[in-house]
Structure 1
Amino acid sequence: MVSERDDRAQLILIGAITLAFILLGIVVVFNGVLYTETLSSGGTSQSASTADTVELEVQQGVGCLLEEVNDDTGTTALLDDHAEDNITMFSNAYRDSTVHSTPAVVTVSYDGINILSGSITDVDIIVTYDTNELHFRRELTVGPGDCPT
């Protein structure tokens, strides 16, 4: 009788240990799935916040550039040419400065200008941000007041 009880106790103990290992395996697999899902969704949100940062940097940079063009140029006829040339140079310089730090291509295109009383009030630009995960194209109206002081 004692041996029969011992056999049952051993079977219950083996069953409990087996059940514990199965539950532990389920927890490990579930945790791995959650970790993988977190990693895969983390890159996209990072790219989106980087695109927002790029937009702000371009807006402020072009705003400061417009302040300089207004200060340096006296005639209305030259403002348009100077603004377009400077925005093109800004686009090239910005792309060259960010190409080593971010895996993205940023392009700033000149789209139009508004001039009032011999000075630039604002310009229309198109900011394009391209990565493997995200394509971002935004049309912005930027003025000299967008330059942080």
Structure 2
Amino acid sequence: MAGNVIYRGPVTSGHQPRTSNKPVSGAYLPGSFVEETATALTQITTALGKLPMILGTADYKGQAVSDTYTSGDTGVAYHLEPGQVYQARMAAATYAKDAPLTIGASGRLTAATAETPVVAFFSDTPGAKAADALCDVVIANTYTVPAPAAG
């Protein structure tokens, strides 16, 4: 359900999400996952041991969700809150409604597997998604998928 904003709400609550603004350390698309370092926003490829954030758009510059940041641009990243809805970039795969997701290659969400942190749940139209598709996700109260029981 592609839209023109990364933060999706709930917008009726009057809630304004908290953001961090720092230079991006690469050419990143809004909707990808980053972490905040002392000096920059850097793309991440795992949620393990990270404080993940979603890269938003620089609305003050008229940036669209399809416009890639240039390395060194000031990026806007959202601090994640459980229950909030965002559009996030997806890895190419087929996704089911409410499927648990983790962060994978290039800061894209992918299906969570055993012993990976779940950061969000798929909340868009189920089915096959192309790489970099923007899809609605609901932020999870992060937990780790348990390993299968030995038996």
TM-score range, shorter chain: under 0.3
TM-score by length of 1: 0.20
Structure with bigger gyration radius: 1
Which structure is higher in RCO with an 8 Å CA cutoff and minimum separation 6?
2
After TM superposition, the score normalised by the length of structure 2 is 0.20
